[in-house]
Structure 1
Amino acid sequence: KTVDKSIYANNHTSVKQKKHYRKFIDWSLIPSKYRIKYQEPANDDHEGDPNLIKETKKALGPEISPLLVNDAQLAKSVPTYVLTVGHDRLRDEGFIYAGRLKRVGVKVVHNHY
């Protein structure tokens, strides 16, 4: 099993992490025309791979994953420009990030192409 497949299977997070981070991912912030393929994760009760969890812990920090911080931390963000495109792997996260920033009062320019 490759690391990519393990990450796609959500094996890089523990059950505790999944529950903690889930609250920061508000799918309603994605325009409905892009939400048609979304499915709730089927394995949120799966503990994940302890070695992979340890290896990827830094990637879940605010410097690399700013979407995964609470609203108080997010509100401290500087004015932000978000660019998303139709087939971008992080397109949905971009919509969610821009929406959350706006919701906490951060000035945001979000262009989607």
Structure 2
Amino acid sequence: MSELKTVGLFAITALAEIVGCYLPYLWLREGKSIWLLVPSALSLVAFVWLLTLHPTAVGRVYAAYGGVYVTMAILWLWAVDGIRPTTWDILGTSVALLGMAIIMFAPRNT
């Protein structure tokens, strides 16, 4: 799988997870409709399915996915919550993405 496709798949996976967790938050903390749990559940099912699409060892996928999840969460903070990322947020995101790249794209024999 190409690097761009891998990162894109991780980004879509992270978005599915974030939406799946954000919708119950809206119900529990913001008093929104309980019906938000339906698309939330569907989003979390999509999240799990998307994780299965990577052709490498599952432990490696989960470890590397975390770096992209951190990035997507910071972007969500900015786009949805309206909070601009700090320099530290950007630095942390960069470190997380570097870790993801090392885990997923380093040369290996297996």
TM over 0.5: no
TM-score by length of 1: 0.29
Q: Which has the higher strand share?
A: 1
Q: Comparing both structures, which one devotes a greater share of its residues to helix?
A: 2
* TM-score of the aligned structures, taking structure 2 as reference length: 0.29
